[in-house]
Structure 1
Amino acid sequence: MNRYAQYALIALVAALAGAAGYITSQSTAAPSKPAPVVASGATEALLALNLPDLAGQTQAMSQWRGKVIVVNFWATWCPPCRKEIPDFAAASRTFEHAPVQFVGLSIDTVEKVQAFKAEFAVPYPLLIASSDVMGLAAGFGNVAQGLPFTVIIDRSGTTREVKLGTLKQDELERKIRALLDEQN
């Protein structure tokens, strides 16, 4: 495959992922099931990741075990992601002194993510993930691998929430508070 075809394919995949995320974020239907269906080993595979941060230092997802971990798969080119990140930043500040860790897994370049972090004052770690990491999303029910996609893991290491599409600050904070209250 020549370089032009590769770029065209990447652009097509990016457009489809952004469109899937946008369409999903427009849904107002409440989920009918109380707990997500997660494939065996999906949470452990996510927590086993070691990914570079914006300084090039490898960060182990496992370092945040024992906290509520909010993992957000996103990209700078994804319109619903850009809409959602300010709410995530605000929610992370709300819980800055609680056993809660937000982590952004960006499907993008370091340079673009650094600029985004500066523009939106994102206070939590943003890690650089390859498109292969998006494959983990299928184990959480996101077979289409749409963005944005959020996984919330409780303090005992169990996935308790998954959401394809945007999460508003109040909804996100409510979900986190419920887990913190339940595990105290």
Structure 2
Amino acid sequence: MNSTGKILLVAFAAGALGLVAALALEGPGPLLKTELGQRALNGALSASAPPAPAGLAVAERGEPLPAFRLSGLDGQSVDLPRAYAGRPLLINVWASWCGPCIQEMPELQRYSTEQGDKGTQVVGIALDDVEAVRDFLRTTPVAYPILLDTPGPADAGVRLGNPKGVLPYSILVSADGRLLKQRIGPFEHGEISDWAKP
């Protein structure tokens, strides 16, 4: 092996050792905050998930979001993604019993306020009981729309590309309705603005 090959081998080994040390000391958190880490996690979870129910349309990165209908807190039907067409859309799937979901709600509200009427529309989908969601929102109010679904093998999270049902789960949808990004896990303060850039 020539000297260039040896240098590359040593550099690769040092990089791998650094990655292992970082994971051992800090856990996978920093890696999971990267787009590459999120793609790897989503791929691993998808590979180990049971198949989606027959005939269920599931969102795929780069493809148009499958259309489906949910109810809002007011009982009115909302057709996704058509109801928010023409604007980028950040959909966050959560539940009132999910600790990390609760922790990220102020960040989602901050981002929604920052975006206003012209930027990315934030929509929450609660996989929860309507009364539990209403009780939760009394103590942690948000101004962005909240839709409801029942947890299960064909719920909104699964339809949006989260077959294992890990919460919280967020996706970014382009203004023309294509799935751009997926994120498993909560956002920390200030993270959404960079993540939601197409």
Q: Using structure 2 for the length normalisation, give the TM-score.
A: 0.66
| Structure 2 spans left out of the alignment, 5+ residues | 1-26, 44-58
Structure 1 position 31 matched with structure 2 position 35: yes
Pick from 79, 85, 105 the counterpart of residue 60 of structure 1.
79
Pick from 111, 136, 141 the counterpart of residue 159 of structure 2.
136
User: Match of 1:119?
Assistant: 139
CA contact (8 A) 1:91 1:169 kept: no
Cα separation, 1, equivalents of 2:118 and 2:76: 25
How much does 1:41 deviate? 9.3
How much does 1:173 deviate? 1.4
Name the amino acid aligned to 1:51. Answer: L
Structure 1 position 103 matched with structure 2 position 126: no
Cα separation, 2, equivalents of 1:85 and 1:109: 18
Cα separation, 2, equivalents of 1:172 and 1:49: 25
Tell me which structure has the larger Cα radius of gyration: 2
How much does 1:28 deviate? 1.9
Pick from 162, 165, 173 the counterpart of residue 182 of structure 2.
162
How much does 1:34 deviate? 9.5
CA contact (8 A) 1:42 1:136 kept: no
Distance 1:50 1:41, change over 3 A: farther
Cα separation, 2, equivalents of 1:174 and 1:127: 25
User: Match of 2:97?
Assistant: 77
Distance 1:174 1:40, change over 3 A: closer
Give deviations 1:68-112, integer Å, cap 9, x for gaps.
111011000001101111110111011113232111110111111
User: Match of 1:15?
Assistant: none
How much does 1:175 deviate? 2.9
Distance 1:109 1:43, change over 3 A: farther
Distance 1:34 1:26, change over 3 A: closer
CA contact (8 A) 1:75 1:106 kept: yes
Percent of matched pairs sharing the same residue = 23
Distance 1:146 1:95, change over 3 A: same
Q: Secondary structure at the match of 1:28?
A: helix
User: Match of 1:22?
Assistant: none
Cα separation, 2, equivalents of 1:58 and 1:76: 21
Cα separation, 2, equivalents of 1:34 and 1:117: 29
Pick from 128, 133, 148 the counterpart of residue 168 of structure 2.
148
| Structure 1 spans left out of the alignment, 5+ residues | 1-24, 180-184
User: Match of 1:19?
Assistant: none
RMSD between aligned residues = 2.6
